[in-house]
Structure 1
């Protein structure tokens, strides 16, 4: 094992976070194949190893097939976006100009200035838009004031 000051696990987590590695999604054909294998009598372990997915994925797939007799994705709600692409860009530009602005302050000042037709946007919206752009909201560090003894000790 190489030792460069970082463990293999930390390195993998960092790589996975930067690359956003996720488990592969099963296509509808693969889902049908997995359910068919289960119905024939193949063990759950063999199925999830064959498709390189988690065991709970196969369990949920089996349960979904028993309840609905289908393996299609369930319909998901399609909520409208709160901000437009232009407003997202303005959020990024403002954050790059002043990177120590908190998400709460950005959300509070964003509404009236850029003509959003919604009354407010949530700080989580700001965080998610910045995360997509590869940015993060940070607070500036507030340290305690130095006493006269600390100042004297620094000068020594």
Structure 2
């Protein structure tokens, strides 16, 4: 029996004629031949790619909440940096809702570090979303510095 080998379009797998695969006593039809089942060593496992949106990251959990004095100072610094009224700055306000872009957020964090004479951890500072998160983080750092 003559076997004919053809290169498939991808060029990485060769197809062998059905006649060369089956012994003379066994007949295979094109309907019973199911792709790579005849070649288990050529099976490729599917690659699964999992994408995680940046917005799905949660802000860091902060154990203590900021006292009223710390919150007022944080609100005043944010209002000054963004040139907005301090009454517009609420605990649940997001920096983006207040009109801050990424550069403004960095400048706010730098001003808060200077005001409280502290150094904020870069990873936690990048994940702060709301004014309350910022005040809580600063309260934690100030408390840890005093201890």
Structure 1 and Structure 2 fold alike (TM over 0.5): no
Where relative contact order (Cα < 8 A, 6+ residues apart) is larger, the structure is 2
The structure richer in helix per residue is 1
Q: TM-score range by the shorter chain?
A: under 0.3
Instruction: Normalising by structure 1, report the TM-score.
Output: 0.24
Instruction: Normalising by structure 2, report the TM-score.
Output: 0.25
The structure richer in strand per residue is 2
Which has the higher Rg, Structure 1 or Structure 2? Answer: 2
